[in-house]
Amino acid sequence: MTTSASRRRYPHAAIPTLREVLQLVKARGLYLNIEVKDVMGKREQYRDLALRAAELVEAGGTTEQVIFSSFNHTTMVRLKQAYPHMKAGLLHFAGLHLAGRYARSAGADALHPLYIGVNEDMIREAHAAGIAVHAWTVNDRPELGRMLACGVDAIITDVPDVCAEVKGAGV
């Protein structure tokens, strides 16, 4: 659906603030991945974006329900230095050499690889280093089943209902 079609269909819909989302997360006992999109070309403009979001997470009492992630691994290192108790995941497209060790060296709690590169060896190596693996964006039933069979710790998806069905069916 295009943006203009969405506006016509939902004319009164509003984008919630992060504070409002965190209130919902807390009230419903949900788990939230906050992807920090700190555009590299606008580095100074977005420099403290993750830290400001972490302040809201802490103030809202949702620290245990939130993980931050970013393709900008330096941002996640800075977040963990400022807020060591916050969870952080490192988004990446391709395989990382010694991924578990790399994630540990960055202070990360999880790796967030594109699902195509996920395999049992990668997961085993990450787990041996104490690092969780959260595959993204897995929307296809066979790939959802493959991720579960490989042993990922979490799946980032646009179709949580389908993911729940696949998980429930033990596919």
Task: For 110-152, write each residue's pLDDT tens digit.
Answer: 999 999 999 999 999 999 999 999 999 999 999 999 999 999 9
Model pTM? 0.89
Express each pLDDT in 148-170 by its tens digit: 999 999 999 999 999 999 999 86
Q: What per-residue confidence (pLDDT) applies to 41?
A: 63
Q: Cα–Cα distance between 51 and 127 in angstroms, integer?
A: 27
pLDDT at 171 over 60: no
Q: What per-residue confidence (pLDDT) applies to 3?
A: 67
- Mean of pLDDT values over 70-95: 95
8 φ, ψ (degrees, to nearest 5): -70, -40
Q: Cα–Cα distance between 75 and 54 in angstroms, integer?
A: 12
Q: What per-residue confidence (pLDDT) applies to 102?
A: 96
SS (H, E, C) 96-160: CCCHHHHHHHCCCCEEEEEHHHCCHHHHHHHHHCCCEEEEECCCCHHHHHHHHHHCCCEECCCCH
Q: Cα–Cα distance between 44 and 26 in angstroms, integer?
A: 31
Q: What per-residue confidence (pLDDT) applies to 36?
A: 95
CB atoms within 10 A of CB 57: 24
pLDDT at 1 over 70: no
- Mean of pLDDT values over 41-59: 87
